[in-house]
Amino acid sequence: MRITHHPILEFQRGRKVRFTFDGREMEGYEGEPIAAALHAAGVRVLRHSPKLNRPRGFFCAIGNCSSCLMKVDGVPNVRVCVERLREGMQVQTQVGKGDLLESV
């Protein structure tokens, strides 16, 4: 959910853009991290871990921890907590380690 009223902060948001998450149409603001747009839309599971297939989400928010790796426009292992949202992006839940050759 978006914060609509805040006693101290005002949020400068970019223009509204459309993207897809696992084929579903979604909206977010241009330039915000992909993870923020997904989170605002209630998406919490971003990938499944390689060994035990456990759900993983957003954890550190600053590109340190690799918890939020997703497939973006066919490229796996994108850190969506720091990757900025653009119009028309295709964002997918990542399963396992991700295959770079698949995206070639």
Partner 1 sequence: MISLRAYDAIVIGGGPAGLPAAIELASCGAKVAMIDREDRLGGQLTKQTHMFFGSQSQRAGTRGVDIAGILAKEALEKGVEVYLGATVLGYYDDRVIAVEKDERFIKMKATAYVVATGASEKMLAFPNNDLPGVYGAGAIQTLMNVHGVMPGKRALMVGAGNIGLIISYQLVQAGVEVAAIVEAAPRIGGYWVHASKVRRLGIPVLTSHTVTQVHGTDAVERVTVARVDDSWSPVPGTERDFDVDVVGLAVGLSPLTELLWQAGCAMRFVPALGGHVPVRNENLETSVDGLFVAGDVAGVEEASSAMLEGRLAGLAAALKLGRGSVTGVMKAMEEARLELESLRAGPVGDKIRKGLEALAREAMAS
Are the C-beta atoms of residues 36 and 44 closer than 8 Å to each other? no
Of residues 73-92, those binding partner 1 (CB under 8 A): 81
Q: Which residue bears the tokens 């900025």?
A: 84
Are the C-beta atoms of residues 78 and 103 closer than 8 Å to each other? no
What mask of x and - would describe binding to partner 1 in positions 22 to 61, judged by CB under 8 A? Answer: ----------xx--x--xx---xxx--x----xxxxxxxx
Q: Find, among 101, 98, 104, the residue nearest to 49 by Cα.
A: 98
Among 14, 27, 62, 66, binds partner 1 (CB under 8 A): 62
Tokens representing residue 58 in the block: 């957003």
Q: Does 3 bind partner 1 (CB under 8 A)?
A: yes
Binding site for partner 1 (CB under 8 A): 1-3, 5-9, 11, 13, 32-33, 36, 39-40, 44-46, 49, 54-65, 67, 81
